[in-house]
Amino acid sequence: MAGKTSTQDEEELFARPRVRGIELMRNPTSNKGMAFSLKERLLLGIHGLLPPVFLDQSDQVAIIMENFYRWQNDLDRYIYLMSLQDRNEKLFYRVVTEHVETMMPIIYTPTVGLACQKYGVVYRKPRGLYITINDIGHVYDILCNWPIDDVKTIVVTDGERILGLGDLGSYGMGIPVGKLALYTALAGVHPDQCLPIMLDVGTDNETLLKDPMYIGLRQKRERGPAYDQLVEEFMNKVVKRYGENVLVQFEDFGNRNAFRLLEKYRYKFCTFNDDIQGTASVAMAGIFASLKLTGKSLADNRFVFQGAGEASIGIAELIVKAMVVRGLTIEQAVQRIWMVDSRGLIVKNRPSGGVTEHKIKFARDQKPIEKLEDVIKMVKPTAIIGASAIAGAFTETILRMMGKFNDRPVIFALSNPTSKAECTAEQAYTFTEGKAVFASGSPFPPVTYKGKTFYSGQGNNAYIFPGVGLAVTVCDIRSITEDVFLEAAETLSEMVTAKDLAEGRIYPPLSDIRRVSTSIAVKIAEFAYKTGLAYHQPEPGDKAKLIQEHQYKTDYEQFISPIYDWPNNPAKI
């Protein structure tokens, strides 16, 4: 073409990355290890820096898996996978997506809980941002230190309530890192657009404060006006840095902050709380699927909750919404829910301390009952849901009662990690004589009872938040309503097959989770355009195509154009 320079010709012939040589291999987003071709090694200045062997990505996956199984415990496997992510990002996500049932318990629950407890030991290199209570007035400067400008998804925690493990302070950073890895692996959100953030305001965990390996602020947790000032500045500066459509997911905040921050910011920013809304959505999906096994309508159920924190309140609220959609009044729906916390059944005239604000809606107008077992005797529920992090709360007596009251009792032991579960899958199936419709937060192995093998469902938020996040960022959804999570729950429940139900599953197998996340994202995209929530214009005719075009691919980038035909035409080089 007339006027074209030799430099322009060169740029069209091959895509030369900004980084070359050893720095190219040190960058996890561009490193391909021994998958670099000879042409690439020669032109990119890395010939001789690698062994003279060429491995495609499939060969590399096989080597990774062989090494993965050499490690003797899951924490070492976690560290191994994080080191892989640090050196070769595409290979890491290829491994996770191809072996998702094996990798999920390692990179997320339950192993991530142990990794958080040991974070001072497992920490290797910076991943995400740490913003402390001492950084008030300088939050924007810290955000600007992050090298990526096009951030679309942020997961933020203050580390106060990590899984069922409590206050882990800055060690809680493992949760945002793990969540965002799932955004990419399970839904295809581009990793460059993800940013994990820790708001370090101190910790009340005395063990950590005395631990010489602790890598956070060594002070008591800030709970006063300065805390709110930090969060307010953070939310506003995030929008200033990345735009008003950046998604901020709140993760593992304590009860006292989780509810009020959600209500404060949900209508002003693109945000949601995964512990409240994500947990609610995945549990609601399990409830919808359970109806196919119990033969009951949603309104025919009576729910007893063990625990009245973020997860339980979120689930209860979404159950109420689903019942209202199906014709009940709010009052009628609430009357089908009983909640038990550390002081027993939540009642209106509690003798001491009253009822905290987020529990008032579900307080019963009756005399107090202290024990969960006595509540279940009185209510004779069709479903019990545990999200209290009290291991063994669903005792043998309770499980046997549930089997006596119901042909198919619904038992959800949702607390994480596994050590905090209200009961095991084996206990649920054995003590109900194989009747239970069971789901848990962390995975349990299959259970064989009287010759039948049950594959219990894992009510993991990972079925929900990656697909929701993908739809939100692609369609530019700026207000994430409860209807979005109800839509996600219904979509997930519809993907449970008759074969799944026959095996005892009320969720699709984890091996299908990429397909599940994509389907949820497409369904939410359709819902968002129908209800006016989507700002991405013009509206695409094919929503599935729109979603798929934005999904991250694990295939290696070809740095050198095929027009360079080495070694048949070495003169070109």
Residues classed as catalytic: 108, 179
Look at the alpha carbons of 264, 266, 271, 276 in this order and tell me if their dihedral is positive or negative.
Answer: positive
Cβ(109)–Cβ(389) under 8 Å?
A: no
Cβ(460)–Cβ(435) under 8 Å?
A: no
Cβ(20)–Cβ(550) under 8 Å?
A: no
Cβ(560)–Cβ(573) under 8 Å?
A: no
The residue count for the chain: 573
Q: Are strands 337-341 and 344-345 parallel, antiparallel or unpaired?
A: antiparallel
From start to end of 56-179, where are the E strands?
Answer: 129-132, 153-157
Closest CA relative to residue 494, chosen from 537, 463, 450: 463
Token output for 93: 């996500």
Q: How far is CA 435 from the centre of its chain?
A: 30
Q: What is the DSSP string of 149-170?
A: S---EEEEE-SSS-TTS---GG
Instruction: Please measure the distance between the N-terminal and C-terminal CA atoms of the chain and give it in whole angstroms.
Output: 22
Q: What CA–CA distance (Å, rounded) separates 488 from 477?
A: 15
Closest CA relative to residue 553, chosen from 280, 191, 135, 42: 191
Cβ(398)–Cβ(373) under 8 Å?
A: yes
Cβ(64)–Cβ(90) under 8 Å?
A: no
Q: What is the DSSP string of 374-417?
A: HHHHHH--SEEEE-S--TT-S-HHHHHHHHHH-SS-EEEE--SS
Ramachandran angles phi, psi of 32, nearest 5°: -120, 5
Token output for 489: 């729950």
Cβ(289)–Cβ(507) under 8 Å?
A: yes
Q: What is the DSSP string of 464-519?
A: THHHHHHHHHHHTB----HHHHHHHHHHHHHT--HHHHHTT-SS--GGGHHHHHHH
Q: What CA–CA distance (Å, rounded) separates 105 from 101?
A: 7
Ramachandran angles phi, psi of 36, nearest 5°: -60, 130
Ramachandran angles phi, psi of 234, nearest 5°: -60, -50
The single-letter DSSP state of residue 347 is: B
Which phi-psi region, left, alpha or beta, contains residue 143 (left: φ > 0; alpha: ψ -120 to 50)? alpha
